[in-house]
Amino acid sequence: MTEGIPNKIIIDSAAATLIRDHKIDLIVTGADRVAANGDTANKIGTFMLSALAKVYNVPFYIAAPTSTIDFNMEDGSKIKIEERSGDELRVIEGVRILPEEMEVYNPAFDVTPHENITAIITEKGIIKPPFKENLLKLKKELNR
């Protein structure tokens, strides 16, 4: 808004419809970790958005500082995904809404494969595919 860029906040469950209906021009998300091949880990749901963007040809960008890039991690399959407490879903504001014994899968993050990413935006510039090659160039630049 500060820069005059049109924007709108939406609920995450509306994203698929808006992407399908070509009402989203591009998607930018963050990343908590970037692997050497360009796979990224971010909040749960990021992978889903990237897959929809790929199907409907919507550019999908990652914005992350170079400090999130793990040049020693070969790919996203090596990223450890934190699983949060099941009570985050079983209990809301102290009120149990699901039985205690109800099994819950509650990951905090997911991994977006580099094939779904248009480019990675960093403070050092925009990294485009092929990510493995271009991230290696960035590593050399950072080590100077």
Catalytic residue flag (residue 87): no
DSSP 67: G
Active-site residue (options: 12, 21, 25, 32): 32
**64 SS3 class:** coil
Please state, in angstroms and rounded to a whole number, the distance separating the CA atoms of residues 121 and 101.
Answer: 43
Buried b (16+ CB within 10 A) or exposed e, 74-98: eebeebeeeeeebeeebeeeeeeee
List, by residue number, the catalytic residues.
32
